[in-house]
Amino acid sequence: MSAARRVGSRACVAALLLACVSTPVALADDKELAQAISGARADLATGDWRDARKELDGATDHLKQTSDPALYGDYLFYSALAYQQCSEDAKLDGAARGTARERAIRQYESFLKRRRDSGGALNNLAQLYAQDPQQRPQAIKLLDRAVQLEDDRVSVYAANRARILAESGQDKQALDWALGAVKSNRDDAAAQTLALELLRKQGNVSALANYVRELTSAGQVKQAVDIALTEIEARSSGRESLLVAVAEALAHRGYGGAPQRFVKSDAGQRLRKQEGTTDIGPGARELLALHEKPAAVGNYKWWRADFREYEEPRPGTRSMAFLALARALGDRCRAAGESGYPCAEAYYTLGVDFTGNSADPTAFLALAEILANSGRGAELARISDKYEKALFRGKGGAYDSRNKPKIYEFHLALGMMYGYIGKWEDKDFAPGGAIWQLNRAKQTADEYNATAPEGSRIVFPPQAVTVLSDGYLETGAVDNSVQIRVEAAEKYIQKGEKAQAQEVLDPKWRKELPETVKQPMRARVEAAATAAEGPR
């Protein structure tokens, strides 16, 4: 009986009818039939096949008289479904269930002759066929047809197909189908459960960790953490990759709120219980401590154990997950505005320090930006001084590995850092100034872009162009100051990036062009500005 109908007895309903329906209305046969079908559908939605059967059997006269093929078809479908549910009723004896199964099959087949593309009928008939190992190939074919319909129940069909494969001992293919089902509908709990069951059966912890990663990528971060913790709790060894997957999920931008909140959360408490274990205990402890308050990098030995100076960080490693988390926690503090600056600075500083001799340029730029935005020039100069060498070392490492995007990142970070503190050039050491570094960043981007595929090319940002231009202006190289902007604008226009061209050719800047700028250059600026303003 459905939940709704538990609220009152059938006697009450009958009494109510008598009381309420004072003027009986003569209903057309089709209306009676439609109501019976609708009632049966509601019964079947709650598994009440007996009431559904009564509804449908009571409408057979109306069925004979109907000329509406759609109604006739619906009747067939729900009648088949009522028999199907009857065939699955464990309280009935085998013979009764067998008879019901046969009837259900006949009616679905009959229905499918009328509506070939009914995903529901294809799916349900496949379920019935699948009960007989001999008929499983037919079931698979039906489900393939259903999947090809690509309707909003495709995850159900795919999960059922996976289940049949698993029952036939084809676990690998079953897992592929189950994962496909999850991908097609992230809210399909049955598909999720099946995929997890099959992954566990496979016993491959790395595959489980990858599954957790896929959930994280799809934005199901809470579920990812929950599943990873459940798997950690169920095992006593081989759990490292799962803890790394937890850290990766926690670094997702969807995991918001103040970092400290995680410690008190259910997930935080579950992690706390792992602190005493020998394999991942230190990792769990350090992860919780990171959320409580960032400390010096030496406090995170477990997470830094696989960090290799001057080596490219590899996805899935402890160090890469931890660094991403430290940056993400910094971003979360930063999102709170100025009140979050101290907290953000602490996390970004940890991020910069974490990579040791090479200083993480991403965390560094975030840290420098906070200091620049809050007008703390002296502190900016201090951290620039402190990390300058590390950034240079990192840049050197990037050059050694010939990783052009990384080389570019370091040049840009150094250039913007020098720009923030107004150190435009260094007479004794050329790379120690914004102009040199930003020019190198631009050059590196050009070199990389010459062979990089479309879509992965580096765009030298307008902010860097304006900082470079300002640097030239401040050092008296007026022509260079104008030229760098015009050239950048012309390139942006060529690529259709007119908005960026407009940004570097800012009207205020154009209005205040130094008098020494010659007419041909002025004309070039105006021409570029006109082109940038034109239709996109």
Residues 457-486 that bind another protein (CB under 8 A): 459, 461-464
- Report how far residue 528's alpha carbon sits from residue 532's, in angstroms, rounded to the nearest whole number: 6
CB 327 within 8 A of CB 348: yes
Neighbour-count burial of 270, counting CB atoms closer than 10 A to its CB (0-12 exposed, 13-18 middle, 19+ buried): middle
Least distance to another protein, CB of residue 278, Å: 31
Residue with tokens 């559904």: 52
Length of the chain: 536
Give the binding range for another protein (CB under 8 A) out of 159-167, 285-293, 294-302, 478-486: 159-167
Interactions with another protein, residue window 195-254 (CB under 8 A): 218-223, 252-254
Q: How far is the CB of 77 from another protein (least distance, A)?
A: 5
- 157-160 contacts: CB < 8 A, separation 24 or more? 157/119, 157/122, 157/123, 157/126, 158/184, 158/191, 159/188, 159/190, 159/191, 159/194, 160/123, 160/126, 160/127, 160/130
According to CB under 8 A, which one of 149, 289, 372, 513 is a site residue for another protein? 372
Assess 28 for contact with another protein (CB under 8 A): no
Question: Which is closer to another protein, CB of 169 or CB of 337?
Answer: 337
Q: Would you count residue 255 as binding another protein (CB under 8 A)?
A: yes
Reduced DSSP (H G I as helix, E B as strand, rest coil) percent helix, strand, coil of the chain, to 5 = 75, 0, 25
What lies within 8 Å, CB to CB, of 402 at 6+ separation is none
Cα dihedral 494, 495, 498, 504 sign:
negative
- Residues 117-156, mask of contacts with another protein (x by CB under 8 A): -xxxx-xx--x------------------------xx-xx
Q: Which of positions 85-124 make contact with another protein (CB under 8 A)?
A: 85, 88, 111, 115, 118-121, 123-124
Q: What is the DSSP annotation of 335-385? A: TT-GGGHHHHHHHHHHHHHHTGGG--HHHHHHHHHHHHHTT-HHHHHHHHH
By beta-carbon proximity to another protein, the closer residue of 19 and 378 is 19
Nearest approach, Cβ of residue 380 and another protein (Å)? 10
| 3 state DSSP class of 60 | helix
Of 157-165, 310-318, 428-436, 516-524, which segment contacts another protein by CB under 8 A?
157-165
Among 352, 365, 383, 525, binds another protein (CB under 8 A): 365
- Choose, by CB under 8 A, the member of 331, 388, 425, 447 that binds another protein: 331
70 contacts: CB under 8 Å, gap ≥ 6: none
Closest separation in Å from C-beta 223 to another protein? 6
| Interface residue with another protein, options 63, 71, 81, 417 (CB under 8 A) | 81
**Assigned token pair, 465:** 């162009």
Pick the closer one to another protein by CB: 463 or 530: 463
- b/e sequence 73-112, b meaning 16+ C-beta within 10 Å: bbbbbbbbbbbbbbbbeeeeeeeebeebbebbbebbeebb
Candidate list 188, 248, 345, 360; residue touching another protein; CB under 8 A? 188
48 contributes a contact to another protein by CB under 8 A: no
Question: Does 21 interact with another protein (rule: CB under 8 A)?
Answer: yes
Gap between the Cα atoms of 73 and 331, Å rounded: 57
Of residues 118 and 481, the one with the C-beta less far from another protein: 118
The yes or no reply on residue 295 touching another protein (CB under 8 A) is: no
Element (H, E) at 195: helix 189-202
Long-range CB contacts (within 8 A, 24+) of 280-283:
280/232, 280/239, 280/240, 280/243, 283/240, 283/243, 283/318
The least CB distance from residue 281 to another protein, in Å, is 26
Question: Judged by CB under 8 A, does residue 498 bind another protein?
Answer: yes
Please report whether residue 405 would count as binding another protein according to CB under 8 A: no
420 binds another protein (CB under 8 A): yes
- At CA 25, angle to CA 19 and CA 29, rounded to 5? 130
195-203, 308-316, 334-342, 398-406 -> range binding another protein (CB under 8 A):
334-342
Structural contact between residues 270 and 287, judged by C-beta atoms closer than 8 angstroms? no
Q: Tell me how far, at minimum, the Cβ of 159 lies from another protein, in Å.
A: 7
Positions 513 through 532 that interact with another protein (CB under 8 A): none
Contact with another protein (CB under 8 A) among 144, 275, 369, 425? 369
Fill in the per-residue mask, 51 to 70: x = in contact with another protein (CB under 8 A), - = not in contact. Answer: x--xx--xx-----------
Tokens of 474: 């401040």
Give whichever of 24 and 476 is closer to another protein, judged by the CB atom. 24
313 binds another protein (CB under 8 A): no
| Closest to another protein by CB, 159 or 284 | 159
